[in-house]
Chains A and B, each alone.
Chain A
């Protein structure tokens, strides 16, 4: 019944719209107009709307920054993240003026040069000088951005010097949870593969490998010591996942059949970040950021950054693989 009423209502609306249009067109023809030509009045209105839109668009942009600016990620909790954020700000310094200036020209010209039968458009088909200018200026700006970008990229992607003190953690993704394994006292991760997965050995660690014995497998949360480089190795046992740690400006895909890696130095403990964000419940998280199945939206693990002492105390409490 509701559907029937809805259909009838839609039909009536369409019919009345058709009739209204017909009447409007007959009216215009009666007045001797070519009815599909944009009238002077319409053209003026549209020109004015160009200006209105320009202002409204900028106002909307500003309103969003004002309203949502403080929802953005807090200051970076990793060493390289500071570089990332600086690069982002440099890029903003380029693109926001470009965005604003080109929009002003675009809509201002549209408004200013609306049709006027007393005026002739200027036949201006090219100017090598102008075109050269606006090829060269973006080229220079981009050279700067590319240089900044590539030097940051190289810095971020350089692996941890294995001679120096660091923490080695393997993170394994599967539908829809994360497991992690710490390298233990020998600093080496034992062999692992899907063929070894059995019962409690969900990460598929090879029991026979000497290096496996002191490895420590943890679930639910990982702990990181502040100020110490952390080398992550990522694996996946089913589909592609992505280990995303937004507060550390860190992300790397977890690909079945391939080991990937990422490293960073955490710089702010969880406790300090609670104060910075003014949020007692704040927690660093690792979340999945590559479509991986029905429960992709809920695949997370907590990350706790703490002092080196607390971290070592926590790690000592974790069982070695051989003990299981």
Chain B
């Protein structure tokens, strides 16, 4: 589904991603872990199409399309979804209005008929139940005055409504207490099926207790330095990042010589 090849990208003069290779297939859950500043969020932003980042080399293929040629909205319309680390507050637009606009624009772009208000409301109610969201939420302004947990839950709610093929969850666990974490993780698990894929970006192993990954990648200094199964995450929790980052640094230092 997603093939990232030798991706090098940065912002202004500093290069952040220094050659990322990643392949994600339908039905898989990938976890990307790594210390602060390793490039995790940059990778997520580049896949979603944030324009501040400049791609200098490499490519991203999504189901045969060259993602880097597409605008952020076109990527979303193809089925790429980013759950933001810091969701943006938009005063003046209600959650229901935002989601309605988003769904109708996506359907328009893909040549589908608009959804009736009745169907839309029913779908919203079902998905709200899935995520334990209380009534009254739909008429609140988008993320305005939301707590950290509510903002993250709102991201997953949008994901549930838009039914993307590829979901990238950027630090969805940060700022969540254990109950909220469980609800969000349950939601993600219920939305998972053999046709979609999920990339979970996180610092901590904790989230991976609930969303069990098929693959774990460690990102350090703009490169994936180690990949493995779910056991790798447990190992990282126990030993920290140092043991692999040092190993990798040594290797790159040698190469420079």
Answer yes or no: do A and B interact: no
